[in-house]
Amino acid sequence: QIANSNPNQLRAQAKGPHRVSRSHPWPRHRPSITWPACSRQSCSFAVHGSNNSRLSYNMQQHQNDDRQQVRNLAGGSCFRITPMQQLFRFLIMGADKGCSYYTSNTALAFENAVNVKDMIMGGHGPAVVAAILEVSEQGRAAKQDAGLLALAMCVALGDQATKAAAYAAVPRVCRTASTLFSFLTALKKVAAAGRAAAGQEQPRAAIQWGRAMRRAVAAWYLDRTPKDLAHQVTKYSARAGWAHADLLRLAHPDPAAWAAAKARKAAAAAALGQSGQQERGAAGVEQQRQVLAYAAKGTVPAGADGEVAAYLAAAHRLRRELALPGDGSPAVGGKRGKHEVELGQEAAPTTITNDSNAAAREAVVGEAVALIRAHRFNHEHVGDQRLLRTPAIWAAFLAGGMPLTALVRNLGRMASIGVFDEPGCVDAVCGVMCSAPAV
């Protein structure tokens, strides 16, 4: 009836003799509410009782229907949320542009940062760290930026218990080298802002590399298997002004000492009848040393052998040496950052100046495809940007299994260079996007 009625007639009925004030008590029976007319500034509704009585209300948007309601950013009324609820909203949705229609991303980020600071200063730092871990490990956030900022604030502003929990959470939240570099950048900004607010002179290094900080960064490297560490070091060699050589120089991770400490803990757990962590052994320690030496110097150590050494040699070949025929200057590095270009200056790239030599071009592409298929390299491992404009290279990435997020980000790029004309590429993309575990 309401949908087919005349709005003017409904408004006239709302102004009838049964209109009561806002303080009129509700009937004892459960009423039924009808919404005849609404607008942006006000909303009129009627309450119909069992005895055909009718109570009309005209509620303005800025009026509070309950004493617990507060003014929101849109100018209306809403119920106040708790600081923990606001923290979860910040960790899940972040404060990027488009998160809120009624305020800017800068104001939203500042409001949430103040909420995180108040919770840390109020003695709820461990609860903040637990919330960061929950959102990060469950994959509930589209981006990690908000969680990394909150974790950096826990490290910089928390008490002893909060800092201990935050340092222990660094390897669990920063699961890739890219997120580790982003966390250090956020920590540097938070520490610099804290010193500026206190009126202190900015030191050359804003991050204080104490024992706890060095141990947390070293744990990120040493808790990984040699193959996983090699993958992280070769895929994310530099991000956000940081390189692995910088962190290794500051943290000084020692694989032998770390393995000895793990062995002592395992022995103590076995004495108590508990299951301890599996020891890495001398071979694993040596492989870790090879990976760390490659990350620090950019070259495969002489005399290194084994599966990890072969992986490092193949990654170095793909990033530093292979390039399509061109003008004699390979397009390596791209937008990776100056650290990656500097680490590869000692290697002479394989370039051919004859641009019409199709056989040489096919040989370079064929070798790159073979390396990608053998070691399941990603597009971040390729140094020559001209190779990334070759459909066969992306077809090899799809055959090896691209992650869902990387696949979605590069769909337009692959379509523009004709990757989907290659056999099996469309089926590979549909298989990933229709996979329930991947989604």
Residue 342 burial (C-beta neighbours within 10 Å; 0-12, 13-18, 19+): middle
pTM: 0.76
366: which 2 tokens? 């064929």
- Mean predicted confidence (pLDDT) in 406-418: 93
Q: In this predicted structure, what is the pLDDT of residue 85?
A: 93
- The tokens for 380 are 């971040």
Q: What is the 3-state secondary structure (H, E, C) of the chain?
A: CCCCCCHHHHHHHHCCCCCCCCCCCCCCCCCEEEEEEECCCEEEEEEECCCCCEEEEEEECCCCCCCCEEECCCCCEEECCCHHHHHHHHHHHCCCCCCCCCCCHHHHHHHHHHHHHHHHHHHHHHHHHHHHHHHHHCCCCCCCHHHHHHHHHHHHHCCHHHHHHHHHHHHHHCCCHHHHHHHHHHHHHHHHHHHHHCCCCCCCCCCCCCHHHHHHHHHHHHCCCHHHHHHHHHHCCEECCEEHHHHHHHHCCCHHHHHHHHHHHHHHHHHCCCCCCCCCHHHHHHHHHHHHHHHHHCCCCCCCCCHHHHHHHHHHHHHHHECCCCCCCCCCCCCCCHHHHHHCCCCCCECCCCCCCHHHHHHHHHHHHHHHHHHCCCHHHCCCCCHHHCHHHHHHHHHHCCCHHHHHHCHHHHHHCCHHHCCCHHHHHHHHHCCCCCC
Predicted confidence at residue 359, as pLDDT, reads 86
Residues in the chain, how many? 439
Whether the per-residue pLDDT at 334 is higher than 80: the answer is no
Q: Which residues contact 228 (CB under 8 A, 6 or more apart)?
A: none
Q: Which range in 210-214, 325-329, 343-347 is most confidently predicted, on average pLDDT? A: 210-214
Lowest mean pLDDT among 85-94, 138-147, 187-196, 407-416: 187-196
Structure tokens belonging to residue 198: 């206190």
Q: Does the pLDDT at position 285 exceed 80? A: yes
* C-alpha span between 314 and 183 (Å, rounded): 29
What average pLDDT does this structure show over 290-305? 85
Per-residue pLDDT for 320 more than 50? yes
- Give the per-residue pLDDT at 36: 45
> Residue 5 pairs with which residues in a beta bridge?
none
| 352 vs 61, residue with greater confidence | 61
Residue-level pLDDT at 439: 81
Least confident stretch, 170-184, 207-221, 277-291, 297-311: 277-291
CA gap 181, 193 in Å, rounded:
18
pLDDT at 335: 44
- Distance of alpha carbon 404 from its chain centroid, rounded? 14
Q: Which tokens is 47 given?
A: 């309450």
Among candidate residues 325, 319, 314, the one with its CA nearest the CA of residue 345: 319
Per-residue model confidence (pLDDT) at position 26: 47
CA distances from 71 to 38, 98, 127, 136, 431 (A): 20, 21, 28, 31, 47
Of the two residues 273 and 284, the one the predictor is more confident about is 284
In this prediction, residue 247 has a pLDDT band, given cuts at 50, 70 and 90, of very high
pLDDT surpassing 70 at residue 205 = no
Question: How are beta strands 77-79 and 69-71 bridged, if at all?
Answer: antiparallel
What's residue 324's pLDDT? 87
Q: Are strands 242-243 and 54-60 parallel, antiparallel or unpaired?
A: unpaired
Q: For residue 304, is it left (φ>0), alpha (ψ between -120 and 50) or beta? A: beta
Buried b (16+ CB within 10 A) or exposed e, 18-47: ebeeeeeeeeeeebeeeebbeeeeeebbbb
pLDDT at 342 over 50: no
Which contacts of 155-162 are long-range, i.e. CB under 8 A and separated by 24 or more positions? 155/187, 155/213, 156/187, 156/190, 156/191, 156/194, 157/117, 157/120, 157/121, 157/190, 157/194, 158/120, 158/125, 159/123, 159/125, 161/125, 161/126, 162/120, 162/125, 162/126, 162/128, 162/129
Can you tell me which residue has the tokens 């760390």?
Answer: 292
Instruction: Say if residue 346's pLDDT is above 50.
Output: no
Q: What is the mean pLDDT of residues 221-235?
A: 93
* Mean predicted confidence (pLDDT) in 142-165: 94
Contact in structure between 365 and 396 (CB atoms under 8 Å)? no
- pLDDT, averaged across the chain: 80
Q: Report, in angstroms and rounded to the nearest whole number, the Rg of the chain calculated over CA atoms.
A: 30
* Confidence bin at 175 (pLDDT 50/70/90): very high
Evaluate if residue 224 carries a pLDDT over 50: yes
Q: Is the pLDDT of residue 352 over 70?
A: no
Domain ranges of the chain: 70-208, 210-271+281-299, 362-438
The predicted-structure confidence for 14-51, as pLDDT tens digits, reads as follows: 555 444 444 444 445 444 444 444 444 555 555 555 55
Give the model's confidence band at 281: pLDDT under 50 very low, under 70 low, under 90 confident, else very high.
low
Judged by average pLDDT, the poorest of 114-123, 249-258, 296-305, 334-343 is 334-343
- Encode 259-275: b = buried (16+ Cβ within 10 Å), e = exposed: beebeeebeeeeeeeee
Q: Indicate the range of 75-84, 116-125, 323-332, 333-342 predicted with least confidence.
A: 333-342
Q: What is the reported pLDDT for 197?
A: 73
Per-residue model confidence as pLDDT tens digits over 390-408: 999 999 999 988 989 899 9
